[in-house]
Structure 1
């Protein structure tokens, strides 16, 4: 019997993953490439690093677009009145003429008959009106000009993702801020707790939680022409493996999740299989965090296997304080006796099968 047990153990029976001793064999101290560290109060504090979302100063300090400032791509409407019966632009019997949908070209100019090519971009409608009036005054007495700006291609942002109505929207007086533009696009179409808003501006980008947009006025940034606003569901997850109630990827949401909560989210430890002394959190730590945890400088990111022994007097408190991060793997090893049970079951099962075959042949 013992020979059979040894043979089966050597061959390797099915299991959910490496056992506790096999993970420790990969430690740096034993020639491996993983920092295997028992979690204590120092480790929970040193590893409590969570990349935060937010906008850089370049976003926060950008001024609001002038609601009346004309830009390349905008569409203008002009009306011109002349004080003569047969004017430059008006036909006989008419005192005014309307020039509708004049688009500002890529260089910022428009063409007005008898006034020529006039720079519109960078001016307000009133400033442009004065320019056109001055040019026409040399050819017709006391012309009266009105200029109306209609938001066009030059002062728009794109809103995409999980919003009520994706599209290209003009930056107008009521929609010059991020929150106002989201409202203009029909609001966010997912649960606010998991919604992330990204603003891309040229080669720069910033990202915040939707909840932080409304809780902190500084996050309600002014929009600039060409901005891309993306609303999506948070993609941060951790993976649960081993002797747990479930083995799956679990979304983090915008909450701070502890190791104890992560275990509970997948059904807790499997009482008939799990080794409560072998709960591991596997992650790659950046250089700065790794140096704090180890208490010495290191170069480059490091692989860590954090060990939580839930049977220690403060084990559950440490699990409650240890923060889970995006990309973590929570792995629970099987208790040592589980493999012996499997081995014994395989042997006794094999013996029973052999006895049955013997009975059949007799």
Structure 2
């Protein structure tokens, strides 16, 4: 029995490296930050850097204004040169000075002709024949018809009016009042105006995402950003596709907290302290106050500003890569043991799909180890008592 007890004790000591834990300690996160996969011994490890958050860095992150749509598509200079296209409905009004002309009578000196531009870009007008409309402005079309009538009609004049613009449609679908094919007018129209024509968004701007597809380019931005940043409210163009989706913003909280969970923002904005309160806060007995982290894929402009160009280029050489949206992995660290952290935490914004990780204190693992060891030691003590009792009986 003494041998059994000794064996159990040695097994417990050998297993000290296998003490379970909930996620990495703060020291492990800091140790891996800024290291390449080869340097940390994992070839395909994600390379990231760490930023200690203070008042200055918090303001930099908070003041950043995303310009996804403007950067990708450009707000442009308005609608530019508006031309007639295939499928457009036009009204051609022809006037003559005389009362016995081709298009005039004693009762009326004008004739109106309704036409639709055909797939070949042309439409027929009596006594003129087929006229090329597609690619021309209304004024150019007017001049074409007028020139063709000068030798046929009596002092003719022409007015060309656009009745509908099938060639200038934009498709709006998704979480809007009514999915629609919206015809563009001849004046500037922005994303917000086109969405309004489709009945407007059905959800709050802070949980509504707008995706614009133009040719082979795609860009997605929060409707809230379009409203707050006018440069994102770009002009739409014929053929654009706009998809509106309701996707409540969420963050995930893990580690030494009351509960590991995914939490909806439920508000227009959310800072770190509000997020922690919304999730129930950390565990009083297990939390490392110096080990609050936010794991995020951050915009390249922000990462470069936080790290500096030299450090940023160094991280690229070490293998730091972007996600599908061109953002870089970054970890923000907060020291909640400092009084000003309660001020800084109010200015640091939480973003959609952030992961807030509260590291446990190193003493937690030591306590687990002691409990782990105590179990076989207790068994061993029982074994010693049994062995002593057996020896007493034998004697």
Deviation at 1:188, TM superposition (A): 0.8
Deviation at 1:168, TM superposition (A): 1.5
Residue in 1 that maps onto 2:163: 150
Deviation at 1:172, TM superposition (A): 2.9
Counterparts in 2 of 1:168 and 1:47: CA distance versus 1, 3 Å: closer
Q: In 1, distance between residues paired with 2:224 and 2:34?
A: 42
1:107-126 CA distances to partner (integer Å, 9 max, x unpaired)?
Answer: x4323343122132455657
Contact (CA 8 Å) 1:76, 1:104: kept in 2 or not? Answer: no
Contact (CA 8 Å) 1:309, 1:315: kept in 2 or not? Answer: yes
Deviation at 1:331, TM superposition (A): 1.2
Residue in 1 that maps onto 2:43: none
Residue in 1 that maps onto 2:5: none
Q: CA RMSD in A?
A: 4.7
Q: In 2, distance between residues paired with 1:290 and 1:180?
A: 34
Q: Is the partner of 2:310 in helix, strand or coil? A: coil
Deviation at 1:5, TM superposition (A): 4.9
1:87-145 CA distances to partner (integer Å, 9 max, x unpaired)?
Answer: 79xxxxxx998865432445x43233431221324556576456435535645667787
Deviation at 1:45, TM superposition (A): 5.1
Taking the TM superposition and a 5 Å limit, the aligned residue runs for 1:315-330 are 315-325=341-351, 328-330=354-356
Contact (CA 8 Å) 2:9, 2:376: kept in 1 or not? Answer: no
Deviation at 1:52, TM superposition (A): 0.8
Q: In 1, distance between residues paired with 2:334 and 2:233?
A: 41
Q: Is the partner of 1:262 in helix, strand or coil? A: helix
Q: Is the partner of 1:277 in helix, strand or coil? A: strand
Deviation at 1:179, TM superposition (A): 3.2
Taking the TM superposition and a 5 Å limit, the aligned residue runs for 1:55-74 are 55-56=69-70, 59-64=74-79, 70-74=84-88
Q: Is the partner of 1:60 in helix, strand or coil? A: coil
Q: Name the count of aligned residue pairs.
A: 350
After TM superposition, the structure 1 stretch with the greater mean CA deviation from structure 2, 263-272 or 125-134, is 125-134
Q: Is the partner of 1:183 in helix, strand or coil? A: helix
Counterparts in 2 of 1:137 and 1:322: CA distance versus 1, 3 Å: closer
Task: State the TM-score, normalized to the length of structure 2.
Answer: 0.67
User: Of residues 362, 375, 387 in structure 2, which corresponds to 1:336?
Assistant: 362
Counterparts in 2 of 1:51 and 1:273: CA distance versus 1, 3 Å: same
Deviation at 1:256, TM superposition (A): 5.2
Deviation at 1:186, TM superposition (A): 1.0
Counterparts in 2 of 1:291 and 1:122: CA distance versus 1, 3 Å: closer
Greater relative contact order, per chain length (Cα 8 Å cut-off, separation 6+): 2
Structure 1 gap ranges (5+): 89-94
Structure 2 gap ranges (5+): 1-7, 41-46, 104-108, 321-327, 391-395
After TM superposition, the structure 1 stretch with the greater mean CA deviation from structure 2, 342-351 or 157-166, is 342-351
Q: In 2, distance between residues paired with 1:177 and 1:287?
A: 27
After TM superposition, the structure 1 stretch with the greater mean CA deviation from structure 2, 42-51 or 112-121, is 42-51
Q: In 2, distance between residues paired with 1:36 and 1:59?
A: 33
Counterparts in 2 of 1:7 and 1:159: CA distance versus 1, 3 Å: same
Q: In 2, distance between residues paired with 1:133 and 1:47?
A: 61
Q: Is the partner of 2:28 in helix, strand or coil? A: helix
Q: In 1, distance between residues paired with 2:53 and 2:227?
A: 36
Contact (CA 8 Å) 1:65, 1:176: kept in 2 or not? Answer: no
Deviation at 1:156, TM superposition (A): 1.2
User: Of residues 49, 52, 74 in structure 1, which corresponds to 2:66?
Assistant: 52
Q: Is the partner of 2:342 in helix, strand or coil? A: helix
Counterparts in 2 of 1:284 and 1:141: CA distance versus 1, 3 Å: closer
1:102 aligns with 2:116: yes
Contact (CA 8 Å) 1:53, 1:206: kept in 2 or not? Answer: no
1:183 aligns with 2:196: yes
Residue in 2 that maps onto 1:163: 176
Q: In 1, distance between residues paired with 2:165 and 2:35?
A: 65
Counterparts in 2 of 1:197 and 1:129: CA distance versus 1, 3 Å: same
Residue in 2 that maps onto 1:226: 239
Residue in 2 that maps onto 1:116: 129
Q: In 2, distance between residues paired with 1:169 and 1:291?
A: 40
1:229-267 CA distances to partner (integer Å, 9 max, x unpaired)?
Answer: 232346765432212233344566885543323322322
